[in-house]
Amino acid sequence: MPTTRDPAFDYQTYVQHTTPDPGQLQRGTKARHRRRDMAKSKITIRIDTDVLEQFKQMVPDGQGYQRLINHALREWLVAQGIKDLVREELKAMTAQVVASLRDIPPA
């Protein structure tokens, strides 16, 4: 089977000309739960009550607050990556400025 990692792979053409194998299809509630369980990890975590209540209030009827917490954690992780990138860039720029200042003769 072709892979999407191959730059020459055309997914649209592949889907149009390849019929799915009925033996490989997994349908129904059990298959859906199995896919969901494979994608996420079940953990126990302690969260301050006031923080939890704020997340619950952000969604209608208390539905999906766990998804909202997951989304907030994902955004925080992305922000941390951006902070690290900016921090490294600032260090490099500072080093360049210091090096260029050393090359300037005093007035």
**Which has the closest alpha carbon to 48: 40, 56, 59, 58?**
56
Average pLDDT over residues 61-65: 78
Res 4: pLDDT? 57
Q: What is the DSSP letter of 28?
A: S
pTM: 0.49
Asked if pLDDT for residue 107 goes beyond 70, the answer is: no
Q: 67 with 57: CB under 8 angstroms?
A: no
Q: What is the DSSP letter of 36?
A: H
Res 62: pLDDT? 62
Asked if pLDDT for residue 89 goes beyond 80, the answer is: yes
Q: What is the pLDDT of residues 11-43, one digit of tens each?
A: 778 777 887 777 777 778 888 777 777 777 888
